Amino acid sequence: MKTGILGGTFNPIHLAHLRIAEEVREACGLDRVLFLPAATPPHKALSGEVVFRHRLAMVRAAIADNPAFVASDLENRRGGKSYSVDTLDILRRESPGEEFFFIMGMDSFREIATWYEYARLFELCHIVVTARPGSSGGPPPALLPVAVADQFCYDGAAQRLMHRSGFSVIFLEETFLDISSTRIRQLVAAGRSVRYLVPAAVETYLNQHALYRGSARS
């Protein structure tokens, strides 16, 4: 089975997250995409004071109509910082026959050298890097951290970097939707509509629990 992994705070999940997951699923021939909300993000503070269970519930609501999308509470169950390399170790132990594709944006890939044990990521799964059309940022080999560049060769025809482990870094152009969780939180806090930025089920959940309004209901 080929499984995509899309992590993030999902604070809240929005339509751009869903579109990226669908495009990668189709382009890479994935059987499913696993949405993994971070419980304790290692790279940035969680904004909006929204606890994990709310963010997971919004993910579940957002993907309920797509049988290829699955939500996971793994990063909350295991505790500690939500380091991607640790999550991948667990997923590989739990499902040794699966082939994993870790999905990230170009901005995150440019900073991958700051991630915890980042070099091991290339040994655990394929990495799919999504970028806006026309904003690839230069030839793929130049995007690699210097410390691991000699572990790769570049397949120009396939637009991918081949790691010595047998896994690849795959570059895909996404359909750019200028939507951000930060902007959604700002709109909600101001009492404005977020319709067509988030799935209807997520908008309903936000209203029911008064999220991002300063006094969330349980």
Which sequence spans correspond to the domains of the chain?
Answer: 2-179
Residues 166, 112: Cα–Cα separation, whole Å: 19
Residues 214, 198: Cα–Cα separation, whole Å: 20
pLDDT, residue 44, reads 64
pLDDT, residue 134, reads 67
pLDDT, residue 39, reads 87
pTM of the model as a whole:
0.93
pLDDT, residue 137, reads 65
User: 167 and 125 in contact (C-beta within 8 Å)?
Assistant: yes
Q: Which residue ranges in the chain fall short of pLDDT 50?
A: 215-216, 218
Is 2-179 a CATH 1.10.3720.10 domain? Answer: no
12 preceded by a cis bond (ω within 30 of 0): yes
pLDDT, residue 40, reads 82
CA torsion 73-77-78-84 (nearest 10°) is 10
User: 53 and 39 in contact (C-beta within 8 Å)?
Assistant: no
pLDDT, residue 128, reads 97
Question: What are the backbone dihedrals phi and psi of residue 158, each rounded to the nearest 5 degrees, phi first?
Answer: -90, -5
